[in-house]
C-alpha cells in the first residue's frame, strides 16, 4: 500500500488561484489557458468634424452640413441609422492673446463626433475616402471586431476548461493518483485583443489627399485574439 503524506500537487501559471480557499484534504490546483484567433468582419470608425467661423451659429451650420452630407451617403455602404451615433456637438470661443491688452475674440469653433459601425469591412477603405471627400476633419480611431464575438468567447472558455482538465489529469497520473470531484472553479479572465497592436492611426483631411492620383491605400487587418484563463481545484484520489 502506498503512503502519501501531506502531498500537494500544484502547477503554477501567470495567474494563480485568487481569493480561493483550498481544501484540507489532498488536492491539486491547476490553471487552464486557451486562445483563439479570428478575422475581424466589423469596423467601428470614430470621426471628428469641426469648423471655425466668425459666429458660433455659422460654425454649427457648417459642421451640420458636412455631417448631413455624410449621413446621406451611408446607404451606399449598407449602414443604417441604428449603426450611427452622431448626436454630440460642442461650440467654443477662440481668443487671440494680446500682450498688455484684453484677449480678443478671434472666432468660434463647432465640433461634432460621430461613430459609424461598418458591417462590411471590405468597404472600409472606400468609406474612409468618402469621409474625407465630405470634409470630415479626422478619422480618430478604428475598432476591429467580430460579429461572432459571443460564440467565440464561449468556445475559448470551453477550451480553457478542457486544458485545465487535461493538466490536472496528467499531473495526477504522474504521481499515481486520480482526479476526484471539483472543489472550486475561478474564471481568472476572459477577454479579446489585437495580436499586432492597436489600429488607432489618425487620418486627417487635406486637399492634396482628395486630389491625389495615388493608388488606394492598403490596410492589413489585424487578427483578433480571444483568450480565457480558468483556475480549478480538484480533490485528489489515491
pLDDT tens digits for 160-215? 999 999 999 999 999 999 999 999 999 887 777 765 444 444 433 333 344 445 56
Q: Set out the domains of the chain in order of their start, with CATH numbers.
A: 9-38+149-193+227-237 (3.30.110.170), 42-145 (3.30.70.2970)
Residue 236 CB coordination number (10 Å): 23
Among residues 132, 129, 118, 127, the alpha carbon closest in space to that of 66 is found at: 132
C-alpha cell recorded at residue 124? 472600409
184: helix, strand or coil: strand
Inform me whether the pLDDT recorded for 97 exceeds 50: yes
Question: Using an 8 Å Cβ cutoff, are 192 and 34 in contact?
Answer: no
Q: What cell does 191 get? A: 477577454
Q: How far apart are CA 162 and CA 136, in angstroms?
A: 49
Could you give the C-alpha distances from 226 to 35, 116, 162, 205, 230, in angstroms and in order?
6, 24, 16, 34, 14
Q: What is the mean pLDDT of residues 8-14?
A: 34
Pairing of strands 224-237, 27-38: antiparallel
For residues 154 and 228, the answer to whether their CB atoms sit within 8 Å is no
Pair 151, 222: CB distance under 8 Å: no
State yes or no: pLDDT of 108 exceeds 90. yes
User: Per the structure block, which three cell numbers stand in for 120?
Assistant: 462590411
Q: Is the pLDDT of residue 131 over 90?
A: yes
C-alpha to C-alpha distance for 45 and 92, rounded to whole angstroms: 25
The per-residue pLDDT for range 39-96, each reduced to its tens digit, is 899 999 999 999 999 999 999 999 999 999 999 999 999 999 899 998 889 999 988 8
- 116 with 47: CB under 8 angstroms? yes
Percentage of the chain exceeding pLDDT 70 = 79
CA–CA–CA angle 47, 51, 53 (5° rounding):
170
Between the CA of residue 167 and those of 164, 191, 198, 212, what are the distances in Å? Answer: 5, 22, 33, 58
Amino acid at each position: 500500500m502506498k503512503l502519501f503524506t501531506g502531498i500537494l500537487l500544484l502547477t503554477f501559471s501567470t495567474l494563480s488561484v485568487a481569493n480561493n480557499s483550498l481544501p484540507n484534504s489532498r488536492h491539486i490546483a491547476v490553471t487552464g489557458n486557451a486562445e483563439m484567433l479570428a478575422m475581424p468582419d466589423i469596423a467601428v470608425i470614430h470621426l471628428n468634424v469641426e469648423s471655425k467661423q466668425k459666429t458660433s451659429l455659422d460654425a454649427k451650420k457648417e459642421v451640420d452640413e458636412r455631417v448631413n452630407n455624410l449621413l446621406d451617403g451611408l446607404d451606399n455602404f449598407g449602414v443604417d441609422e441604428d449603426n450611427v451615433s452622431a448626436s454630440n456637438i460642442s461650440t467654443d470661443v477662440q481668443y487671440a492673446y494680446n500682450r498688455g491688452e484684453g484677449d480678443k475674440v478671434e472666432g468660434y469653433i463647432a465640433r461634432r463626433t460621430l461613430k459609424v459601425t461598418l458591417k462590411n469591412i471590405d468597404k472600409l477603405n472606400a468609406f474612409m475616402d468618402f469621409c474625407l471627400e465630405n470634409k470630415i476633419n479626422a478619422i480618430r480611431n478604428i475598432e476591429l471586431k467580430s460579429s461572432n464575438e459571443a460564440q467565440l468567447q464561449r468556445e475559448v472558455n470551453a477550451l480553457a476548461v478542457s486544458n485545465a482538465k487535461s493538466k490536472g489529469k496528467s499531473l495526477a497520473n504522474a504521481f499515481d493518483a486520480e482526479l476526484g470531484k471539483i472543489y472550486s472553479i475561478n474564471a481568472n479572465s476572459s477577454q479579446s485583443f489585437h495580436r499586432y497592436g492597436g489600429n488607432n492611426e489618425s487620418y486627417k483631411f487635406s486637399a492634396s489627399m482628395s486630389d491625389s492620383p495615388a493608388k488606394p491605400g492598403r490596410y492589413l487587418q489585424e487578427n483578433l485574439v480571444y483568450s480565457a484563463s480558468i483556475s480549478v481545484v480538484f480533490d485528489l484520489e489515491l
